Amino acid sequence: MTSSTPLRRPAARLHRLAFLALAAALLSACGPKDAGEAAPAADARPAGHLFTDQASGVGLDLPALWAGRYRVGDSVAAPVEGLERELAFRYVKADSSLVPEPMIVVRVFRTAAWKALPVDTAATRYGTLVAQNDDHTVALRPAAANPLTAGSADALGYDSLMMVVLQRPLRASLRPATR
């Protein structure tokens, strides 16, 4: 049976296709150009946008795409023994408002307190360990999901930031904090 009218795709499917196309474009643009290309050394210069928190000494080498697209709040939401700082990275929407739920949360613990936590509890509750020295441990936890309306320009922007930050190992550093 033939029809003279084209088949119409549901809007949700078009949004998914647009998202997949964006993801493919970002992955090809941001990925290594040569399959044999080595990852940069941990002490190499920043590959993207360097975020630094002077108060804690934390440095994160974020993808260049992140520059100007987030704001960081510094407060501990729920006090935990040994947790000194909690840096919440929130997405800046097109209208300059902030998404209430953070894209990533970086927690700075005293190393002795971090080591006292059961390993499965530490990773599950606070995130992946990304930097550590004798005094401090830094854990990072990405958002579980995009809180914005699927298919919106802000949701696509949010997804693009999350994809580029999660597609490569995150480089972090700890320097002496300034008080």
Structure tokens at 166: 């999660």
Element (H, E) at 163: helix 153-166
Average pLDDT on 164-175 reads 86
- What is the rounded distance in angstroms from the CA atom of residue 140 to the CA atom of residue 145? 15
Instruction: Identify the sign of the CA torsion 147, 152, 157, 159.
Output: positive
Half-sphere exposure of 108 (CA within 13 A, CB side): 25
Q: What is the mean pLDDT of residues 117-137?
A: 90
Q: Is the pTM of this model over 0.75?
A: no
Hey, is 2 helix, strand or coil? coil
Does the pLDDT at position 150 exceed 90? yes
Burial of residue 56 (number of CB atoms within 10 Å: 0-12, 13-18, 19+): buried
Instruction: For residue 17, name the pLDDT band (cuts at 50, 70, 90).
Output: very low
Distances in whole angstroms, Cα of residue 51 to Cα of each of 9, 47, 58, 106, 147: 42, 12, 8, 12, 23
pLDDT in tens, 97-122: 999 999 999 999 999 999 999 888 88
- State the pLDDT at residue 46: 58
Q: Which residues of 105-120 are buried (b: 16+ CB within 10 A; e: fewer)?
A: bbbbbebebbeebeee
